[in-house]
Amino acid sequence: MPNKQLPIRISPHALLATLVEVRYTLRKPLELALGEFGQVLQPDFVYEHQLMELVKQQTKEEAEPLFHGQGISVRIRPEGLLFNCVSATATPPPGSNGDYLGWTRYFELIQEVLTRLQSTNAVAEYSGLAVRYVNALPGIELNKQLQIQLPTLGSLPEPDSTFYQATFSDELGFRIALQLTDRQPVPGQTGLSSVFDITVRAATPQIELPTLFARLDQAHTREKEIFFGLLDEAFLAQLDPVYPE
Residue 62's pLDDT is what?
52
**Residue 204 and residue 211: Cα distance in Å, rounded?**
9
* Ranges 78-82, 143-147, 229-233: which has the least confidence: 143-147
The DSSP code for 96 is S
Q: What is the pLDDT of residue 146?
A: 62
Range of weakest confidence among 9-13, 169-173, 209-213: 9-13
Percent of the chain scoring above 70 in pLDDT: 76
| 51 pLDDT more than 70 | no
**For residues 141 and 44, which has the higher predicted lDDT (pLDDT)?**
44
Stated pTM of the model = 0.84
Each residue's pLDDT tens digit, 162-209: 678 889 999 999 999 999 888 787 777 777 888 899 999 999 888 899
Label residue 81 exposed, middle or buried (CB < 10 Å: 0-12, 13-18, 19+).
buried
Q: What is the pLDDT of residues 94-114, one digit of tens each?
A: 444 556 888 999 999 999 999
CA distances from 34 to 57, 122, 123, 156, 206 (A): 21, 9, 11, 46, 22
The domain limits of the chain are 14-237
Q: Distance (Å, rounded) from C-alpha 115 to C-alpha 176? A: 27
Pick from 21-35, 90-104, 228-242: least confident: 90-104
Got the DSSP string for 183-244?
Answer: EEE-TT-SSEEEEEEEEEEEE-TT--HHHHHHHHHHHHHHHHHHHHHHB-HHHHHTT--B--
The reported pLDDT for the residue numbered 99 is 67
- For residue 153, pLDDT beyond 60: no
* Count of Cβ atoms closer than 10 Å to residue 110 Cβ: 22
Task: Decide: helix, strand or coil at residue 168.
Answer: strand
Candidate from 44-48, 60-64, 155-159, 184-188 with smallest mean pLDDT: 155-159
Separation of alpha carbons 10 and 214, rounded Å: 25
Percent of the chain with pLDDT over 90: 51
Q: 152, 134, 129: which is closest to 218 by C-alpha?
A: 129
Taking alpha carbons only, the member of 189, 193, 96 closest to residue 141 is: 193
Q: What is the mean pLDDT of residues 17-37?
A: 95
Mean pLDDT lowest for which of 130-139, 154-163, 185-194? 154-163
Which helix (H) or strand (E) segment holds residue 84: the answer is strand 80-84
Q: What is d(CA 181, CA 155) in angstroms, rounded to the nearest whole number?
A: 16
Q: How many CB atoms lie within 10 A of CB 199?
A: 21
